Structure 1
Amino acid sequence: MQEEGMKRRNFLKGAAASGALLLYRPGLVEAGPDLSRQSAFLYDSIKCINCGVCEKACKRVNGLPEHASVIYMSQNASGLPVHITRRNSCMQCIRPACVRACPTGATFLRGNGLVSYDSQKCAACGYCVDACPFKHPRMSRPAYFNLRNVWVNRCTSCGACAQACPEDALHFNFRQDILTMAKERLAQIKSTYSLPQAQLYGEEDLNLIWILAGSPDKYDLPGPTAAAVVDTSLAFWKDIVRPTTLLLSLMATGILGVTYFFARRNHLKELARLKQIEEEEKDVK
């Protein structure tokens, strides 16, 4: 009975986090995250059974084509006492390089700190694919001169995958609650299994926090600081080169506009002068 009550409370908290996500208006956030409004996902790789329900829920809610998927599940027999599953999806970096790299604002941070994606703004440039330290985004092969056929597997942070998980392996909630749950589960795992290297992954840098049965390399994951590193060239391009280019373009447009205005005015004056001369000549005749 107590366990049922805990599940009910967790469900209500998850629903509250989902509601908060819908209330936040999308916008590019360059400042540091507000932890009091932060949401996060928890992925327990030990509980996950690779059933694919989260993949199907993601496709259904986001209206993805049959061949497309934002989440890819894979299993890895690594010699550990338990069979582990790896979730291949957006890692929800707290300081996402993809957001800095995106030139159109298609990839952005929501007010609750989660990375999201607007397909209507995507120019299919592939910058987010190159910028991601986890090499997750994939871009479909475009048909020539037809951007409508281009598709990028970007997460919209809708939370449908967590709500659909039948094994309690995936959760979506406020970040502080997710961290508390993750630490409690980790302690339980270490007391139940012979997994001395079991650990949390992404506690400092990600909003998709993993429970790992072993070291990150068993999951083909980079070091824990990978998400914290933002390429300085991206910052230089986004914060200096791009605004400067935009400013110069606006200045050039303004100069052309002013030039056209004076040229047009002088042209009209010349037409008026010629017309006046023509009328004077008619009067003389």
Structure 2
Amino acid sequence: MASIVIQFFAIFSVIFLFACATNAQLSPSFYSSTCPNLQGIVRNAMRQAISREPRMGASILRLFFHDCFVNGCDASVLLDDTASFTGEKNAFPNQNSIRGFEVIDTVKSNVEAACSGIVSCADILALAAREGVLLLGGPSWTVPLGRRDARTASQSTANSNLPPPTASLSSLISLFAAQGLNARDMTALSGAHTIGQARCSSFRTHIYNETNINPNFATLRKRTCPGPASGTGDNNLAPLDILSPNRFDNGYFQDLLVRRGLMHSDQELFNGGSQDSLVRLYSNNFRAFANDFANAMVKMGNISPLTGSNGEIRTNCRVIN
């Protein structure tokens, strides 16, 4: 009888350990022994990228967001299309929009040189997003690690899950809620638009056809964003934060108070709705915004990660092994 009990507990222990391995939680110290210099490697590569082009901080942050909202933070957004595989890069919200893939390639190459086959592309993207924010004057946060990389992607999910620039406030709240993020998280994360630029095609309707916009601001933006009848200018860029597009501050929220939100979805955050008071708070208190943004980034980074034996550690972030 005793031997049966011992065997039972031995089997149970194996099952328990396997379950823990396959459902492992993310941890900031995940690579402390296997790749101890990881964060410094990512930081140095991002510093070089941003010194060449400050906009890249915003681009990598957006890349992380567009990854996490499609089946979780699994680096699926980095996969290239092949003859037999359709990825997410050409989903409608991503076409001619997401960028920075070559920066992630460089970071991955540097990491592989130090710790071959150890660190996932998903974790590299999560760390790079934080470093970009920090290097542009924004807050830091502790990044939980241990994600693995997806072996597949979903263009259809990208088309349905990613908020369009025409989204209403209720739509934004619903799309974020579907990812486990509340309205406060949504508004704080929207503050990522305090850095970076947007294409004319994403804000043309707002500046030409809508009334909830400062008329002088609309006139300014029309100078480089021709009307729809022109058939030109789709890729012309404008700063999301008119005064400090390369500085992570609370200028975005200050712009919203005076109706200078570049896209319809931006100005929806301050349009007589439920987020008006929060926008006012963030516009006056950078620390409150920075704290909420950092907390929301951690929450977003925890969306459905692959861990344990799920997925893989890609050698090249653009293709499965």
* Bin of the TM-score, shorter chain as denominator length: under 0.3
- Give the number of the structure whose residues are more often strand, by fraction: 1
Provide the TM-score with structure 2 as the length reference: 0.22
Q: What is the TM-score when the length of structure 1 is the normalising length?
A: 0.24
Structure with the greater alpha carbon radius of gyration? 1
